[in-house]
Amino acid sequence: MPIYPALSLISVVAVVLLERFVFRSGVMKTWSFWISMVIIFAFMIPVDGWLTKLSAPIVAYRASDTSGLRPIWDIPLEEFAYAFALCTLVILLWDRSNRSERTLQRHSGQTNLDLNARTEPVS
Q: How far is it between the farthest Cα atoms of the chain?
A: 65
CA count, 13 A, side-chain hemisphere, 110: 12
pLDDT tens readout for residues 106-122: 666 655 555 555 555 55
Q: Is the pTM of this model over 0.75?
A: no
pLDDT tens readout for residues 51-97: 888 888 788 888 888 887 888 888 888 999 999 999 999 999 988 88
Quote the CA–CA distance of 94 and 76 in Å, as a whole number.
Answer: 28
- 8: number of Cβ within 10 Å: 23
